[in-house]
A = this chain, B = another copy of it.
Amino acid sequence: MDSYHGYTGIVAEMLREAGVEPGDVVEVVRGDGSRFKGVVMTRYSLSEEPFLILKLDNGYNIGIRIDESTIIRKLGRVERGAPGEPVGLAEEEPQPPEEKVFIIGAGGTIASRVDYETGAVKPYLDAAELARNIPELFNYASIEAKQIFSILSEDMKPWMWERLVEEIARRIEEGYDGIVVTHGTDTMAYTASALAFALRSLPVPVALTGAQRSSDRPSSDAAFNLISAVLAASKAPFAEVVVVMHGETGDSYALAHRGVRVKKLHTSRRDAFQSVNAPPLAKVDPYKGEIVLLDKPLRRRGEEELRVDNGFDDRVVVVKHFPGITAELIDAALDKGVHGIVLEGTGFGHISTDAIKSIERATDMGVPVVVVSQTIFGRVNLNVYSTGRLMLKAGAIPLEDMTLEAAYAKLSWVLKRASDLREVRRLMLTNLAGEISGRHSLRLYTHAQYRGW
């Protein structure tokens, strides 16, 4: 199709008619009365959706949907290096970004729309369609995209983690500079952890992102998060699996959380994701295109080759201690033939004394019981109290300061590569992807009630 500085169809037609070139300052008035003023940018999108890309005064690029009722008026031209004007915008032929990012779609709210028949939100959008609707993405990288699942994330299963690992590995081998995975937020922390273990070493970043509100809602966080994730995937100096989501409620910055450290800690807020027992890896500013490291990367971009060790056991269960018949639930799981148990104990990782015999039974059956804490923050320690010592004697494996999600994904992964309980223990207690850390700084835990009293 005929292209005019990357634009096609009605947008190309209108720009030609008004004599507008990239670098020109224009005013756009839409049929709904909304007005925009900014510098016209060359378009690098793969999409033919009728969007005009403008750089606004604040430096932020937006895509404006154009139709027959839109008026585009040329106001002037940005001279190169003119005082107070962005430098470089007036170049006749700005180079498209060199980086190539591959977006893998795995469903979730970010790819969902309201189903007007039922009123409920359903997975719907294709990853490529999603990208086409957010033209700013193309400022940071050329984008290709493929949808591999169209599910809500509560339906994510370990075999799908394996498919994701395969797809990511394939695209990295094809030479992409970064991978973005769009994913439902509910189980994103589990998937991010799983990817971090199976992708044993990476040459480029893998950034998971999603949305707390579906993309067809005005309040959606989809565009902000996806732009931030593409920025991280294309430019970040680290080569790790991260989750990139809103850093606070406003559209100010995103945070890149290490996959094995992140948790969704609110049902609905944009800033629901937090790093637990570790600082976030980086602050991501999608306006300035800036990434600021907040922690030391474990692997830097380009330092290591891709190394994949795929495969997860899907018969691991989570059992949470509660003040009743925890023992019966552990026994029931063992009767069902599970291969591993992640025990979410109380406090330092305890369960009731009467349930310790069920840990013994699991150990006798060769079923590992690993222990994290339901307090979310802090570190399990089975050496302090008598109960903990009895649990250790029964074979429980306390997982230091690991999140439940990382513990679950790791045990599923370890069970495919350890031949006995001793080897399970050794691997579970070896820090592979940042899931275990040393002493914590006090600032890693914030009492929600600190503010105001």
Contact A268:B447 (CB < 8 A) given known A323-B187, A335-B332, A350-B154: no
A352 to B287, alpha carbons, bound, how many Å? 37
Interface code A165-199, partner B: CB below 8 Å = 1, 0 otherwise? 00000000000000000000111001100000000
Query: Is residue A38 contacting chain B, with contact meaning CB distance below 8 A?
Result: no
Within 8 A of B (CB), among A342-399: 342, 344-354, 373, 375-381, 383-389
Q: A272 to B412, Cβ gap below 8 A?
A: no
A45 at interface (Cβ–Cβ under 8 A)? no
Whether A453 and B154, one on each chain, are in contact in the complex, defined by CB atoms closer than 8 angstroms, is no
Cβ contact within 8 Å between B333 and A386: no
A344 contacts B328, C-beta separation under 8 Å? no
A320→B323 contact, CB < 8 A:
no
A249 interface contact, C-beta 8 A:
yes
In contact, B274 and A447 (Cβ under 8 angstroms): yes
Q: Residue A320 contacts which of B161, B318, B352 (CB distance < 8 angstroms)?
A: B318
A132 at the interface (CB under 8 A from B): no
Q: Which of A234-274 contact B (CB under 8 A)?
A: 247-249, 255, 264-269, 271-272, 274
- List, in ascending order, chain B residues with CB within 8 A of A354's CB: 155
When all copies of this chain in the complex are counted, the total is 2
Partner of A453, one of B283, B353, B387: B283
Tell me if A83 is interfacial: C-beta within 8 Å of chain B: no
Whether A61 sits at the interface, judged by CB under 8 Å, is no
A325 CB within 8 Å of chain B: yes
Interface stretch (choices A29-37, A114-122, A142-150, A224-232): A114-122
Identify which of B329, B380, B389 contacts A118 (C-beta below 8 A). B389
Tell me the complex Cα distance, A358–B383, Å: 38
As a 0/1 sequence over residues 383 to 419 of chain A, the CB contacts with chain B under 8 angstroms (1 = contact) are: 1111111000000000000000000100010000000
6 residue pairs of the A-B complex, CB under 8 angstroms, read A120-B383, A121-B384, A122-B386, A154-B387, A186-B347, A280-B449
